[in-house]
Amino acid sequence: MQELTTVKTVHEEGSWLFTVRNQYGEQEEFILVPCDDSAEQRSTSSRPVADDGVAAWVNRCTHEAQRFDTGRGVAIRDGQLICPRHGSMFNACSGDCDNGDAAGTTLPSIDITVSGDGTVYLTDDELTFVHEGGVDEDDGPDSTSHISF
Ligand code: FES
């Protein structure tokens, strides 16, 4: 088990971006987001959902290669992640999208576990936690990544 952060931190900061390395040595970004789904919705979801108020999703829209968190946190409203490019909204707990350009898709997830004291662990055997924050690369200035509400 690889320690990531705490449920409290995810809720306080709104989202938590981190980088993992897969079995091919490639780095990929994921996000932890607050998930306040009801137990009923959770039991009917086929997706892996954390029990204790957080869910983990890939930091990339299913429509185009657009990050949800471009360095300023994920835009979330009413339990929905909002894609900054075309505005499709994804359920923060199920990862499902039923609107806009990404309609009919579900975000890829990874296995996380929340311990009794609220610590979030990465429990996906094929992934190695690299560090908090995004993949290290020279992005350069990106004038198109502003998120506005
Ligand atoms: S890139 Fe996300 S909806 Fe188009």
Using a 6 Å cutoff on CB, does residue 64 contact ligand 1?
yes
Q: 101 C-alpha vs ligand 1 centroid, how far in Å? A: 6
Using a 6 Å cutoff on CB, does residue 83 contact ligand 1?
yes
Q: Which residues form the domain of 19?
A: 2-125
In a domain, 10, yes or no: yes
Q: 62 C-alpha vs ligand 1 centroid, how far in Å? A: 7
* Among 29, 33, 99, 97, residue whose Cα is nearest residue 66: 29
Q: Per-residue pLDDT tens for 28-50?
A: 999 999 997 654 454 555 544 44
pLDDT of residue 3: 97
Q: Which residue has the higher pLDDT, 112 or 45?
A: 112
Using a 6 Å cutoff on CB, does residue 42 contact ligand 1?
no
Q: CA-CA distance, 61 to 82, in Å (whole number)?
A: 9
The total number of structural domains that make up the chain: 1
Q: Is residue 87 pLDDT above 90, yes or no? A: yes
Q: 69 C-alpha vs ligand 1 centroid, how far in Å? A: 13
Q: What is the DSSP letter of 110?
A: -
In a domain, 148, yes or no: no
* Among 67, 85, 53, residue whose Cα is nearest residue 133: 67
What angle is formed at CA 140 by the lines to CA 134 and CA 144, rounded to 5 degrees?
A: 85
Q: Which CATH number goes with the domain that contains 90?
A: 2.102.10.10
